[in-house]
Amino acid sequence: MQLQEIINAYEKDLAVVESFLEQGRESYVDLIPEISRHIIMSGGKRIRPLLIMISADLFGYHGENRYPLAAAIEFIHTASLLHDDVIDHASMRRGKAAANQLWGNAASVLVGDYLYAMAFKFLTASNNQAVQELVSVATATMVEGETLQLIKSGDVNITEEDYLSIVEKKTAILMATACALGPVLAGEPSSSVDMMTDFGMKLGITFQLTDDTLDYVGVEEDFGKTIGMDVREGKMTLPLIWSLQNSPSSRADRIRRIVAAKSADDGDVEEVAGFIRDTGGIEYALEKAGSFVAEAKELIADIPPSFPRDAMVVLSDHVLSRTI
């Protein structure tokens, strides 16, 4: 099974989700749909809505509630991107100028707030308390993760455990929620919800691990955002954390000073990237990502073979093998 086969299978479902996304970004204030359209229609892969469709299919739920909920999850994700780009002073997002560069920080924050509000409007319409609690907790957890990352910015002593805790909260939790919504909507027991939550959490960690690796070795035109931003912002991600802990102190001390200063220029970024490549940080992070994918696939191994079960496996491998 190929990724495109999965996308084709859920094409009609995703088209319905798109109609909810279009509906949700409407406003008489022209700037709101303008900025929303810029980021929502800029090439996002809709992986979270797709996970909801597959998870619902896996547990036999084909009701209408999955569509606005998928739109709500995508709005929450998109709102977080708008806010993140303001916090990170980002210049690119998905291969285009970031919204904060075109319309300013204030407009980006306010439109992000609007998308959060619309997400919860869709969520309320579900009339499902379990769903509402699940998504509400996830959204609050994402803010905690971003805040923790902000606090740890420039902290060159951060551990792998600290890093994974941040990743779970700021990125993986929303994918975990998307995967858990299928069994929740289907009224499955908590064991199934827990299984799919764990599956999505490991998938989300893998996604962030590969994303953080691409920040050092990706091609900007392919990656869709500015390369080296983590170093410039003082963000300690796993490739760098591992390299600093497993290299000669003299060179590592120089890299720590660059990262802690949070003012790296292009030369500094290349120096840090070279250090990580030389000391095996890229290989370690990708190996770690591979172990999380293996654990995710093991969680669903006992589910009887079916198209949605196999689709989850293929999607897991795709997240791991994004272009390096």
Q: Both tokens of residue 322? A: 């994004």
Phi-psi region of 167 (alpha: psi -120 to 50; beta: other; left: phi over 0): alpha
> What CATH number should be reported for the domain holding residue 237?
1.10.600.10
Whole-number percent of the chain with pLDDT over 90: 70
Instruction: Tell me the pairing of strands 96-97 and 92-93.
Output: antiparallel
Which structural domain, as residue segments, surrounds residue 99?
3-320
pLDDT tens digits for 221-230?
455 555 677 8
Are residues 181 and 55 in contact, defined by beta-carbon separation less than 8 angstroms?
Answer: yes
Mean pLDDT in residue range 283-305:
95
The pLDDT of residue 324 is 45
Neighbours of 282 (CB within 10 A): 21
| Mean pLDDT in residue range 147-166 | 92
Q: Residue 158 in contact with residue 205, Cβ under 8 Å?
A: no
Question: Is the sign of the CA dihedral 317, 312, 227, 95 positive or negative?
Answer: positive
pLDDT value for 230: 82
Q: How many domains does the chain have?
A: 1
Whole-number pLDDT of residue 226: 59
Task: Give 75-107 pLDDT, tens digit per residue.
Answer: 999 999 999 989 888 777 767 888 898 899 999
- Residues forming beta bridges with residue 92, ordered by sequence position: 97
Q: What's the confidence (pLDDT) of residue 214?
A: 85
Q: Is 9 exposed, middle or buried (0-12, 13-18, 19+ CB in 10 A)?
A: middle
Q: Which residue has the higher pLDDT, 71 or 102?
A: 71
For 1-10, 17-26, 133-142, 295-304, which range has the lowest pLDDT when averaged over its residues? 1-10
CB 58 within 8 A of CB 182: yes
**Other beta carbons less than 10 A from residue 133's beta carbon:** 11
Predicted local distance difference test score (pLDDT) of residue 218 = 59
Look at residues 198, 137, 206, 136 and name the one whose alpha carbon lies nearest to residue 171.
Answer: 206
Rounded Cα distance, 284 and 118, in Å: 40
Which pLDDT belongs to residue 227? 63
Report the C-alpha gap between 211 and 124 in whole angstroms: 32
Q: For residues 150 and 41, which has the higher predicted lDDT (pLDDT)? A: 150
Q: Residues of 195-233 as b/e, b for ≥16 C-beta within 10 angstroms?
A: bbbbbbbbbbbbbbbbbbbbbbbbeeeebbbbbbbbbbb
